[in-house]
Amino acid sequence: MPTVPLRTAALAALPTVPQRVLFASAVALSALVLVVPFPGSLSVVATRWLVAVSAGVPGVGLLSEVALVALAAGVTAAIVLSWRRQPAARVRVVALVVSVGIAYAASESIKLLVTELRPCQRWPLAEECAPLGDWSFPSNHATLAFAAAAVIAVLSRRFAVMVAAFGCAALVAFDRVAQGAHYLHDVAAGAVLGLGMVVVALVCAALVLRRRPSARQRDRDAST
């Protein structure tokens, strides 16, 4: 009885092109249900539930501001310490600082393109709400919070500090949804944007540092 080679059997087990298309379509539809704020989508349902649960809880609306202040203080401390202790890595510090500003600018630009209404502008969920024209997607607070947390994590390299930083960032995102200022997908997109800009900054800084000659090499060239 002829046997099927192991490699042939493994290839046969791989999904065919139609199966891949169906799988990609299913993933795209799932993402659509999560992201697009139509009635019944997961993001909308989760946002309304969280706002309803948080209604009347004292301190909602202040947590995000307090957490952002803590992150700003942490970023400042991390930058100052890294600037003093690691002179050779100052290019990376500058790149990280610039990445936070670029992330915020990108967030504002995307808001103007998407022009998504906030939950509190669609439904009477909160007593206070931003005026029309102050759009929802993505969340500036989440963008800044997760970018700042990533900067702190990169510069400190201490596990406890990383946990505290990202805990504050998650608290910012949670509080913005709880007060009806953003949908769940708004803060998720802001987190991805903030983290992504920091990653891009690290890559750019690494390329610059790789192309710069070391101090020993400069001394050697000067002596010759």
Local confidence pLDDT in tens for the 224 residues of the chain: 455 454 444 444 444 445 566 666 666 655 555 556 665 677 888 888 888 877 777 767 788 889 999 999 999 999 999 888 888 778 888 999 999 999 999 999 999 998 888 888 887 765 677 788 888 888 999 999 999 999 999 898 888 999 999 999 999 999 998 888 888 889 988 998 999 999 998 888 888 878 766 544 554 554 55
Among 93, 75, 64, residue whose Cα is nearest residue 178: 64
Domain contains 203: yes
Domain contains 168: yes
Domain contains 104: yes
Domain contains 96: yes
Domain count, the chain: 1
Domain contains 1: no
Full residue range of the structural domain in which residue 179 is found:
60-211
Q: What is the pLDDT of residue 142?
A: 93
Contacts of residue 185, defined as CB under 8 A and 6 or more positions apart, other chains included, come to: 34, 35, 37, 43, 137
What token pair was written down for 85?
């202790």
Domain contains 14: no
What token pair was written down for 18?
């139609």
What are the residue ranges of helices labelled H in 16-62? 17-35, 42-54
Domain contains 85: yes
Q: What is the pLDDT of residue 4?
A: 46
Domain contains 191: yes
Tell me which amino acid residue 115 is: T
